[in-house]
């Protein structure tokens, strides 16, 4: 446990706000993952906002499906998806129930339980790389589709929860285009990160896939 850390759990009301308010406000918060081997705590350093049916970059842009139904609420739940046939990514649902939006957790600093995450992230060159990127974060925290729909508001036996933590000063928060998003959503400056933090992942612009000839 980190001495002096504000361990007050975030409430449902925190997430029941517009996604562009919630996303930057998640920076510096402490994500707690309870595992059978012990807890893992991560300070969030990079996130991206996805605004559902008004956002071409969102999985919910074309409406509700079996895959994205969790995004439609209630707020404070985990939306976990599988991508490129090999990686999971973890999001936190926000906004009013019935209007899909969520925040992709892109990177963080493992502060408790690093020894547990090293076993899953044995390719990391150092501890700052353990959760540097959304797939790495999910792997480090042992997150897969079994956690899709999990309530991340603190309660007895919670697999995921978010504590108040240590938000950065406003002048340390930066924003810019989201990583790997193309089309009409490419220029939305909805990626937020803590300036200068070594766990923040590098920005990569969208590269269209080439069709096989």
Kindly report, residue by residue over 123-149, the tens digit of the pLDDT.
999 999 999 999 999 999 999 999 999
Top-confidence residue, 62 or 8? 8
Which pLDDT value is given to residue 166? 96
Q: What is the pLDDT of residue 213?
A: 47
Q: pLDDT digit string (tens) for 179-207?
A: 989 898 999 999 999 999 999 999 988 77
pLDDT (tens digit, 9 = 90+) per residue, 147-163?
A: 999 999 999 999 999 99
Q: Which CATH superfamily includes the segment(s) 6-169? A: Methylpurine-DNA glycosylase (MPG) (3.10.300.10)
User: pLDDT at residue 10 above 50?
Assistant: yes
Q: What single string gives the DSSP state of each residue in 34-53?
A: EETTEEEEEEEEEEEEE-GG
CB atoms near residue 159 (< 10 Å): 17
Instruction: Please state the domain extents for the chain.
Output: 6-169
In our burial notation (b when 16+ CB lie closer than 10 A, e otherwise), range 164-175 reads ebebbeeeebbb
pLDDT tens digit string along 56-79?
Answer: 989 988 888 988 999 998 999 999
Q: Which of the 8 DSSP states describes residue 16?
A: S
Question: DSSP characters for the chain?
Answer: --TT-EEEEPPHHHHSS-HHHHHHHTTTPEEEEEETTEEEEEEEEEEEEE-GGG-TTSTTTT---TTTGGGGS-TTBEEEEEETTTEEEEEEE-SSTTS--EEEEEEEEEEE-HHHHHHH-TT-SSGGGTTBSHHHHHHHTT--GGGTT-B-S--TT-SEEEEEE-PPPGGGEEEEPPTT--GGGTT---EEEETT-TTSPPP----PPPPP-
The per-residue pLDDT for range 76-132, each reduced to its tens digit, is 999 999 987 789 999 999 999 989 999 999 999 999 999 999 988 999 999 999 999
pTM assigned to the model: 0.93
């Amino acid at each position: 446990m980190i001495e002096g850390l504000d361990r007050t759990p975030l409430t449902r009301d925190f997430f029941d706000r517009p996604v562009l308010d919630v996303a930057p406000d998640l920076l510096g918060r402490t994500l707690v993952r309870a595992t059978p081997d012990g807890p893992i705590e991560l300070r969030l350093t990079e996130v991206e906002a996805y605004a559902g049916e008004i956002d071409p970059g969102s999985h919910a842009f074309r409406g509700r499906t079996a895959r994205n139904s969790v995004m439609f609420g209630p707020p404070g739940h985990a939306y976990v998806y599988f991508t490129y046939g090999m990686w999971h990514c973890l999001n936190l649902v926000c906004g009013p129930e019935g209007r899909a939006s969520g925040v992709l957790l892109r990177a963080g600093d493992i502060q408790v339980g690093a020894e547990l995450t090293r076993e899953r992230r044995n390719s990391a060159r150092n501890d700052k790389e353990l959760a540097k990127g959304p797939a790495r974060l999910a792997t480090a925290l042992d997150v897969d589709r079994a956690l899709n729909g999990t309530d991340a508001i603190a309660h007895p036996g919670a697999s995921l929860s978010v504590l108040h933590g240590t938000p950065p000063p406003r002048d340390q928060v930066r924003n810019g285009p989201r990583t790997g998003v193309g089309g009409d959503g490419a220029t939305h400056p909805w990626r937020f990160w803590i300036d200068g933090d070594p766990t923040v992942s590098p920005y990569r612009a969208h590269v269209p896939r080439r069709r096989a000839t």
